[in-house]
Amino acid sequence: MDGKTVTVNEAQELIKKVAVREEKTEEVSLMDAGGRILAEEIRAWQDNPPFPKSPYDGYAVRAEDIREAGKETPVCLRVVEKLCAGEYPKRGIGPGEATRIMTGAPIPNGADTVVKQEETDGQDREVRIRKSQNPYENYCPAGEDFRTGDLLIEKGTRLDAVRIGIASAAGYHSVQVRKKVKIAVLTTGNELCLPGRTLRPGQIYDSSLFMIAERMRELGGEVVLAEEVPDEEETIRTSLRKAAGCADLVVTTGGVSVGEKDLVKDVLQQEGAKFLFEHVLAKPGSPTACSVLQGTLVVSLSGNPFAAAVHMELLVRYAAACLLGCEDLLPKEEQGILMTAFHKTCKTDRYIRGREESGRITIPQDKEKSGILSSMNGCNCLVKIEKGRERIEKGEQVWYIRI
């Protein structure tokens, strides 16, 4: 086998060369665009708001007319029109005039401020104003949110609820997005049993199949195949061929170590896959491998669920981000403060589960083994314990990756 051992960074660089984005796009309704990657820029084709609008229920007036207004010295103005949100002024106001106005309604020409109704006597024909205001106080000018031609959201950005809100404020009802990356997930192992079935002696329930499929969907992928595969060469071969034929990215778990039933890499090699690497200098999940089969990238994660979760974030997510052309999704290292001491040393970089809040990271005690997934519940980051680093005390800085 022409594989090799690489660091996580080297693994990502090798993946980047192979995981090249294809320029396939489609139009989707804004209602269905959550999680999708924009294939166009969102620009404003008109000002928002398109007209100066009232921020309050009250009276649109000329600041000049109410300069002397006060609690004891109200100024009386003639009310010439009433405007609710959705209506448009039929006329402007002149000296001594006011328009009764509701929040969101267009401010008529001539008015340069809105007095809240609480600062008035609230009358319909003639209103007494009990407060003076500066011009453009309580006034939302046209284009205060964004102006015609403004770039609102860049191409390649992942659409979330807020960005969808912005696009809709700009009047888009559908957007061009990149086609989803098609993902196949194969979990291997004779011991695996699908949840819902009865465990036979020696079996365990499969957690990685569901976890990886869900994470791929969270990242905007389309899971086109998800199946358990027993440790049999022919079955693994059939599944790998099927997966490489229908997906842009194949993720396998298990069967990559040195045991008698660890057949995944052998079958990949028999099928002519080209290995980018076979081991990663990181714990857990050092037996993680990556290859290209029939032009499709295959990331082979180790079977232990936490080891699989770690490299699902470091390598599979990296590959998906490259295939989607979405920088936002790339795993990034940030610095935080470890609030729980960590006293294990390691010859390679080690990744442990953690919970980060405002840059402070706590790690669950005890249950840190790579076969244990339950203590990852509530964790939102992977803390990187750099190789050779000894006894990290509470309060020391560490690198972490948000998940």
Ligand X SMILES: Nc1nc2c(c(=O)[nH]1)N[C@H]1C(S)=C(S)[C@@H](COP(=O)(O)OP(=O)(O)OC[C@H]3O[C@@H](n4cnc5c(N)ncnc54)[C@H](O)[C@@H]3O)O[C@H]1N2
Binding site for ligand MOO (CB under 6 A): 283-286, 302, 304, 307, 370
At its nearest, how many Å lie between ligand X and the CB of residue 196? 14
Question: What is the DSSP-derived secondary structure letter of residue 357?
Answer: E
Nearest 5°: phi and psi at 38? Answer: -65, 135
- Check residue 256 for interaction with ligand X (CB under 6 A): yes
Q: Which stretch binds ligand X (CB under 6 A): 167-175, 274-282, 296-304, 334-342?
A: 296-304
- Check residue 252 for interaction with ligand X (CB under 6 A): no
At its nearest, how many Å lie between ligand MOO and the CB of residue 361? 21
Q: Residue 296 binds what, of ligand X, ligand MOO, none (CB under 5 to 8 Å, by partner type)?
A: none
At its nearest, how many Å lie between ligand MOO and the CB of residue 286? 5
At its nearest, how many Å lie between ligand X and the CB of residue 319? 18
Nearest to 252 by CA among 275, 228, 277: 228
At its nearest, how many Å lie between ligand X and the CB of residue 215? 13
Q: Is 205 exposed, middle or buried (0-12, 13-18, 19+ CB in 10 A)?
A: middle
Q: Is 319 exposed, middle or buried (0-12, 13-18, 19+ CB in 10 A)?
A: buried
| Residue with smaller CB distance to ligand MOO, 254 or 325 | 254
In 238-284, which ranges are E strands? 249-253, 274-277, 279-280, 282-283
Looking at 106, 305, 325, 364, which residue binds ligand X (CB under 6 A)? Answer: 305
- Check residue 307 for interaction with ligand X (CB under 6 A): yes
119 token code pair:
């600062």
At its nearest, how many Å lie between ligand X and the CB of residue 308? 7
Residue number of the CB atom closest to ligand X: 303
Residue number of the CB atom closest to ligand MOO: 370
Q: Which stretch binds ligand X (CB under 6 A): 135-143, 166-174, 234-242, 303-311?
A: 303-311
Strand 182-188 to 222-229 pairing: parallel
Q: Which stretch binds ligand X (CB under 6 A): 60-68, 153-161, 283-291, 391-399?
A: 283-291
What's the CA gap between 156 and 326, in Å, rounded? 5
At its nearest, how many Å lie between ligand MOO and the CB of residue 39? 37
| Residue with smaller CB distance to ligand X, 152 or 264 | 264
- Check residue 50 for interaction with ligand X (CB under 6 A): no
Nearest 5°: phi and psi at 268? Answer: -60, -45
In 95-181, which ranges are E strands? 97-101, 113-116, 126-129, 151-153, 174-178
- Check residue 239 for interaction with ligand X (CB under 6 A): no
Nearest to 15 by CA among 349, 363, 316: 316
| Residue with smaller CB distance to ligand X, 36 or 350 | 350
Q: Residue 256 binds what, of ligand MOO, ligand X, none (CB under 5 to 8 Å, by partner type)?
A: ligand X
The H-or-E segment that residue 42 falls in is strand 42-43
Are the C-beta atoms of 137 and 77 separated by less than 8 Å?
no
- Check residue 258 for interaction with ligand X (CB under 6 A): yes
| Residue with smaller CB distance to ligand MOO, 120 or 370 | 370
Q: Which stretch binds ligand X (CB under 6 A): 28-36, 105-113, 207-215, 379-387?
A: 207-215
What's the CA gap between 301 and 312, in Å, rounded? 8
Cis bond upstream, residue 106 (ω within 30): no
- Check residue 3 for interaction with ligand X (CB under 6 A): no
Provide the β-strand partners of residue 342. Answer: 392
82 token code pair:
């009433």
Q: Residue 216 binds what, of ligand X, ligand MOO, none (CB under 5 to 8 Å, by partner type)?
A: none
Side-chain-side CA neighbours of 314 within 13 Å: the count stands at: 36
* One-letter identity of residue 30: L
Nearest to 149 by CA among 235, 269, 46: 46
Q: Which residues bind ligand X (CB under 6 A)?
A: 187, 189, 191-192, 204, 206-209, 253-259, 262, 284-287, 302-305, 307, 370-371
